[in-house]
């Protein structure tokens, strides 16, 4: 049987997505930049007691491992090429050590030793019942529901010996990364998560570096217990980079539940005006954003993109902290509005803080990087069994089914090494999928034509344009885009390719979606949209048909509304045929109606490429 990786490479080569010139060839690599192990406090309290980094790496590389709560054998369907373990910097390893009675007492006095004993008993109690995670989430931040006020009070859990435990846990984690790093075959990155969540506003960032353990042992990860403010994280990264030579990327995630604060327009979390200096610092480290993961999709929202028929995808209308009010989508919560905000800020100040690429990742807390609908093991260890997914978690009903089986980070890299993959992130030649390994490549330039779709010389194509994540400027005529997409060989056929454009028109943000390639002989409806593809999902069996759709789609597209004086961005969205959601497969297994899960029965999995940016002239820094 041919592996999926081999099949994908064959498909890409057949559609000329891969270069025929070995000297300029880039490989399509797949990974997860956001995975938690038993070292993360919330993962441990949610019954992931045993799966430490070594288990996470083995699972990602394709080995069978034991699930931390069900104790059954589990295995990823197709191995990953790289992985970032991103345990929370806050109390990293502390809850595990305390619950297991392992707080070090060598340097503790009598009083602190007594407090340590009480902490061990308390953590053992919390870990004994998965519902106790609700107490942790409720009291993890200040009582106020005001985000700006809450941010002034960093979270604090003063357990004696925490600094020693965090240091030892960090050392164990970075050593595991080096042991499992196999240049050319599998890249194991060193990273962590900074988890600021003032008044329930999710402002979390995953930070990772291509450095090895000999460099990473020179610091302990910066945590929100030191500061809730993103700019303090960036300044810390600046300082550590200067001292150690390490490079970093900071990746925002779950902007969809940030209460409008992930991508501010005028004032930052400190309630200070956004300045060019703030924008430059942010852009230095946050040149990639996680657009999709288990806690929902962050591309856009129907209330913000009312003309986008695919905007209502995998919503997660729940704040993580109870009692902060009903969910309300705002421009600061979603990627597409943020890209538009970035254009506006750049027009005013000359610096765009939101010129970023896009990736997906899982945010799994099971140590298992699963983004497959039919092989999804939940966000938490307690979400593994279908009947448990119907359980409410505090204020969120049927939490396990509310989670998405998403996503993956795709990277166009010269080789499978830490340095090469990191460089691809820095130049934004990366993209996101919601799980399937849809192969996509995009180039933009001044003169691509239909005949270029048939060329075997992709090195020549690359020389005439910029790839996803690239920049164009001061064009005299409309740019043209060469786009290739190939289906995941063991997933659904493709429905369509869309070009998403955002621009400023007389200072006002505008967006439009163009269908540029689609399967079958379908017509446009009265609104000018391509009619919906057939949904063949059988809700009794979970089966679907690939009789519709296409294995490959490609197009050369030129912007019909291009204005050389208007700043703009363009990204590609590729949609699959409808397939059954993981909650539907659970419902079938439980012999209950799929509607009882409270979720959509089917979904159209997708890929989002990093934008290509157009700047009218060199006024932006």
* Segment 485-516, tens digit of pLDDT: 999 999 999 999 999 999 999 999 999 999 99
Domain boundary among 428, 452, 480: 428
Q: Tell me how far apart the alpha carbons of residues 245 and 209 are, in angstroms, rounded to a whole number.
A: 11
- Confidence (pLDDT) at 129: 81
**pLDDT tens digits along 93-106:** 999 999 999 999 98
Q: Which helix (DSSP H) or strand (DSSP E) does residue 118 occupy?
A: helix 110-127
Q: Which two tokens stand for residue 97?
A: 């050590």
Q: Are residues 119 and 194 in the same domain?
A: yes
Residue 40 domain-assigned (yes or no)? yes
Enclosing domain of residue 446: 1-26+442-621
Of how many residues is the chain composed?
621
- Per-residue pLDDT, averaged over 543-554, amounts to 96
Q: Are residues 420 and 485 in the same domain?
A: no
Residue 127 confidence class, pLDDT cut points 50, 70, 90: confident
Q: Which two tokens stand for residue 267?
A: 């004032």
Q: Tell me how far apart the alpha carbons of residues 221 and 401 are, in angstroms, rounded to a whole number.
A: 32
Higher pLDDT, 2 or 169: 169
Residue 206 confidence class, pLDDT cut points 50, 70, 90: very high
- Confidence (pLDDT) at 150: 95
Q: Quick one: 556 exposed, middle or buried, by C-beta within 10 A (0-12, 13-18, 19+)?
A: middle
Domain boundary among 403, 428, 453: 428
> What's the whole-model pTM score?
0.94
Nearest to 612 by CA among 524, 533, 500: 500
- Confidence (pLDDT) at 396: 87
Residue 109 domain-assigned (yes or no)? yes
**pLDDT tens digits along 253-293:** 999 999 999 999 999 999 999 999 999 999 999 999 999 99
- The total number of structural domains in the chain stands at 2
- Per-residue pLDDT, averaged over 451-455, amounts to 86
Residue 138: is its pLDDT beyond 70?
no
Domain boundary among 400, 428, 456: 428
Q: Are residues 450 and 354 in the same domain?
A: no
- Per-residue pLDDT, averaged over 153-167, amounts to 91
**pLDDT tens digits along 396-412:** 889 999 999 999 999 99
Q: Tell me how far apart the alpha carbons of residues 484 and 184 are, in angstroms, rounded to a whole number.
A: 26
Q: Are residues 446 and 382 in the same domain?
A: no
Residue with tokens 């729940």: 318
Residue 437 domain-assigned (yes or no)? no
Residue 545 domain-assigned (yes or no)? yes
Q: Tell me how far apart the alpha carbons of residues 523 and 527 are, in angstroms, rounded to a whole number.
A: 11
Residue with tokens 């990860």: 221
Q: Are residues 15 and 69 in the same domain?
A: no
**pLDDT tens digits along 10-53:** 444 444 343 333 335 899 999 999 999 999 999 999 999 999 99
Q: Are residues 4 and 62 in the same domain?
A: no
Neighbours of 341 (CB within 10 A): 22
Q: Give phi and psi for 231, each to the nearest 5.
A: -65, -25
**pLDDT tens digits along 413-426:** 999 999 999 999 99
- Per-residue pLDDT, averaged over 529-546, amounts to 96
- The pLDDT mean for the chain works out to 92
Q: Are residues 154 and 191 in the same domain?
A: yes
Residue 116: is its pLDDT beyond 60?
yes
Given the DSSP bridges, would you call strands 552-558 and 73-74 parallel, antiparallel or unpaired? unpaired
Q: Are 82 and 424 in contact (CB under 8 A)?
A: no
Residue 401 domain-assigned (yes or no)? yes
**pLDDT tens digits along 550-559:** 999 999 999 9
**pLDDT tens digits along 458-476:** 788 888 999 999 999 989 9
- Confidence (pLDDT) at 484: 96
Determine the 3-state secondary structure of 32 from DSSP: strand
**pLDDT tens digits along 296-348:** 999 999 999 999 999 999 999 999 888 888 999 999 999 999 999 999 999 99
The sign of the CA dihedral 323, 327, 329, 333 is positive
Residue 554 domain-assigned (yes or no)? yes
Q: Which segments of 190-254 does DSSP mark as H helices, in order?
A: 213-216, 230-244
Q: Are residues 133 and 8 in the same domain?
A: no
Residue 619: is its pLDDT beyond 60?
no
Q: Are residues 450 and 523 in the same domain?
A: yes
**pLDDT tens digits along 380-397:** 999 889 998 988 877 888
- Confidence (pLDDT) at 295: 97
Q: CA 196 → CA 141, 225, 266, distances in Å?
A: 9, 8, 20
- CB under 8 Å to 43, separation ≥6 — which residues? 36, 37, 87, 365, 366, 367, 380, 381
Q: Are residues 298 and 232 in the same domain?
A: yes
Residue 113: is its pLDDT beyond 50?
yes
Q: Are residues 18 and 41 in the same domain?
A: no
DSSP type of residue 548:
S
Q: Give phi and psi for 578, each to the nearest 5.
A: -60, 140
Residue 206 domain-assigned (yes or no)? yes
Q: Are residues 139 and 277 in the same domain?
A: yes
Nearest to 454 by CA among 578, 339, 555: 555
Residue 434 domain-assigned (yes or no)? no
């Amino acid at each position: 049987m041919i592996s999926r990786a081999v099949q994908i490479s064959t498909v890409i080569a057949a559609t000329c997505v891969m270069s025929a010139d070995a000297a300029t060839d880039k490989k399509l690599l797949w990974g997860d930049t956001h995975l938690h192990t038993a070292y993360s406090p919330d993962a441990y309290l949610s019954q992931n007691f045993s799966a430490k980094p070594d288990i996470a790496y083995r699972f990602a590389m394709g080995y069978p491992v034991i699930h931390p709560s069900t104790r059954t054998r589990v295995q990823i369907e197709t191995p990953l090429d790289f992985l970032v373990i991103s345990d929370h910097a806050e109390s990293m390893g502390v809850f595990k050590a305390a619950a297991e009675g392992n707080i070090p007492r060598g340097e503790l006095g009598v009083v602190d030793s007594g407090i340590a004993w009480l902490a061990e008993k308390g953590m053992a109690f919390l870990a004994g019942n998965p519902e106790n995670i609700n107490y942790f989430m409720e009291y993890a931040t200040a009582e106020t529901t005001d985000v700006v006020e809450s941010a002034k009070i960093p979270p604090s859990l003063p357990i004696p010996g925490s600094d020693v435990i965090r240091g030892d846990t960090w050392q164990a984690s970075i050593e595991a990364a080096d042991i499992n790093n196999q240049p050319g075959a599998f890249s194991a990155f060193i990273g962590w998560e900074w988890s600021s969540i003032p008044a329930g506003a999710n402002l979390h960032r995953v930070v990772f570096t291509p450095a090895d353990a000999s460099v990473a042992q020179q610091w302990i990860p910066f945590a929100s217990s030191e500061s809730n403010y993103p700019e303090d994280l960036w300044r810390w990264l600046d300082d550590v980079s200067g001292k150690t030579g390490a490079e970093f990327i900071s990746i925002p995630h779950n902007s969809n539940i940030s209460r409008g604060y992930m991508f501010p327009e005028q004032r930052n979390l400190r309630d200070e005006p956004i300045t060019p200096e703030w924008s430059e610092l942010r852009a230095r480290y946050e040149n990639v954003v996680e657009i999709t993961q288990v806690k929902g999709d962050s591309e856009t929202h129907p209330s913000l993109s009312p003309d986008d028929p695919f905007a209502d995808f995998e919503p997660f209308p729940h704040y993580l902290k109870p009692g902060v009010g009903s969910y309300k989508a705002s421009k600061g919560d979603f990627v597409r509005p943020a890209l538009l905000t970035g254009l506006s800020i750049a027009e005013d100040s000359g610096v765009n803080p939101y010129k970023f690429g896009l990736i997906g990742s899982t945010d799994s807390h099971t140590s298992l990087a699963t983004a497959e609908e039919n092989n999804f093991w939940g966000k938490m260890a307690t979400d593994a069994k279908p009947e448990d997914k119907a359980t409410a978690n505090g204020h969120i009903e049927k939490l396990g089914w509310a989670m998405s089986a998403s996503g993956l980070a795709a990277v166009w890299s010269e080789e499978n090494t830490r340095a090469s993959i990191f460089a691809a992130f820095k130049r934004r030649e990366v993209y996101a999928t919601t799980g399937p390994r849809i192969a996509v490549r995009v180039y933009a330039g001044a003169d691509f034509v239909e005949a270029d779709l048939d060329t075997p010389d992709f090195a020549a194509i690359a020389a005439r344009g910029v790839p996803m994540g690239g920049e164009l400027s001061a064009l005299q005529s409309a740019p043209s885009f060469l786009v290739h997409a190939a289906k995941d060989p063991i997933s659904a056929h493709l429905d369509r390719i869309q070009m998403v454009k955002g621009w400023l028109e007389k200072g006002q943000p505008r967006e439009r979606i163009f269908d540029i390639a689609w399967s079958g002989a379908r017509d446009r409806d009265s609104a000018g949209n391509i009619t919906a593809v057939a949904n063949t999902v059988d809700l009794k069996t979970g089966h679907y048909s690939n009789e519709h759709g296409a294995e490959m789609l490609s197009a050369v597209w030129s912007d019909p509304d291009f204005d050389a004086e208007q700043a703009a961005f363009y990204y590609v969205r590729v949609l699959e045929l409808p397939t059954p959601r993981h909650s539907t497969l659970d419902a079938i297994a439980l012999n209950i109606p799929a509607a009882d899960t409270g979720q959509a029965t089917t979904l159209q999995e997708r890929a989002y490429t990093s934008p290509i940016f157009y700047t009218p002239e060199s006024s932006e820094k």
